[in-house]
């Protein structure tokens, strides 16, 4: 019984020391930071963190399956929304073309992966979603068209 008790105490001490050593006693070194991503922010706020002019598009993105393949800041299965915004000027022609790609799917614009079609989306809703995405441009090259 004494051996089991000493073993349990030793294991507990080792776990505590390992935890302290891995974090260097600093909570900032945690594997999963407390920082909320832009994607999480849009999802958790139902789009309320988006600019008011593009909030409906952000809400539609959060309500659909878009975040399965896309994130705002980082590339996952598909390009990030910021990459898309940097590639396409914000104009009605691009809004129309990209909305068509959202509804009918596309392949080859970003490599060999195919974007799934979303035939149940209305064109007006797809345009709102694309306008939100294009509003995320951080290169200052886009002229915003409403």
Q: Which residues are annotated as a binding site for heme c?
A: 66, 70, 115
The binding site comprises 66, 70, 115
CB 97 within 8 A of CB 104: no
Question: Whole-angstrom distance between the N-terminal and C-terminal Cα of the chain?
Answer: 75
**Please, what sign has the CA dihedral across residues 87, 89, 94, 99?**
positive
Cα separation, 48 vs 143, whole angstroms: 23
| Residue 119 to residues 60, 69, 106, 109, Cα–Cα distance (Å) | 14, 17, 12, 19
Retrieve residue 97's tokens: 């073309």
């Amino acid at each position: 019984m004494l051996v089991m008790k000493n073993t349990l105490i030793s294991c507990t001490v080792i776990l505590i020391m390992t935890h302290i050593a891995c974090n260097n006693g600093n909570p900032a070194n945690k594997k999963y930071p407390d920082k909320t991503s832009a994607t999480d922010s849009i999802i958790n706020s139902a789009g309320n963190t988006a600019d008011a002019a593009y909030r409906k598009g952000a809400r539609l993105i959060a309500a659909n399956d878009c975040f399965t393949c896309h994130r705002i800041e980082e590339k996952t299965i598909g390009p990030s929304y910021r990459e898309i915004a940097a590639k396409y000027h914000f104009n009605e022609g691009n809004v129309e073309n990209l909305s068509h790609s959202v509804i009918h799917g596309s392949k080859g614009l970003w490599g060999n992966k195919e974007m799934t079609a979303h035939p149940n989306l209305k064109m007006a809703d797809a345009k709102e979603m694309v306008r939100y995405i294009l509003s995320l441009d951080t290169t200052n090259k886009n002229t915003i068209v409403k």
